[in-house]
Amino acid sequence: AQKVTQAQTEISVVEKEDVTLDCVYETRDTTYYLFWYKQPPSGELVFLIRRNSFDEQNEISGRYSWNFQKSTSSFNFTITASQVVDSAVYFCALSEAGARKSTFGDGTTLTVKP
């Protein structure tokens, strides 16, 4: 069975600080996909990134970066120079190959204070 663990329930930082959100996953499949979503107060989940299990290259997109390490089954997300608008709940999700559903972690609530 697949499982996603986001051990950090809540994180609070001051604007301009860097923050890393942790995600650890479990799966027996060798082919799978990992996702990060952001849920602002308005409710809808916003897709941030998708990574497949064969691509361990880290990715940077503006202030966002992702560190995927199969050896530790982790897919961590770092926000550099955080801003108040980054305040949201962030979800990590796992989808096994061919699956038509994603398993989500419990989410990390990030609060960025001015």
Partner 1 sequence: KAGVTQTPRYLIKTRGQQVTLSCSPISGHRSVSWYQQTPGQGLQFLFEYFSETQRNKGNFPGRFSGRQFSNSRSEMNVSTLELGDSALYLCASSPMTVNTEAFFGQGTRLTVV
Size of the site for partner 1 (CB under 8 A): 24
Q: Could you tell me how far CA 114 lies from the centroid of its own chain?
A: 23
Q: Which is nearer to partner 1, 64 or 104 (CB)?
A: 104
Q: How far is the CB of 51 from partner 1 (least distance, A)?
A: 11
Q: How far is the CB of 45 from partner 1 (least distance, A)?
A: 4
Distance (Å, whole) CA 59 – CA 54: 14
Q: Which of residues 21-60 bind partner 1 (CB under 8 A)?
A: 33, 35, 37, 42-47, 50, 52
Q: Could you tell me how far CA 27 lies from the centroid of its own chain?
A: 16
Provide the mask over 85-114, with x wherever binding to partner 1 is found by CB under 8 A and - wherever it is not.
------x---x-xxxxxxxxxxx-------
Give yes or no for residue 3 binding partner 1 (CB under 8 A).
no
CA distances from 71 to 26, 47, 48, 56, 95 (A): 12, 25, 23, 10, 18
Helix residue ranges per DSSP H, 26-94: none
Whether residue 92 contacts residue 29, with contact meaning beta carbons closer than 8 Å, is answered with no
Binding site for partner 1 (CB under 8 A): 33, 35, 37, 42-47, 50, 52, 91, 95, 97-107
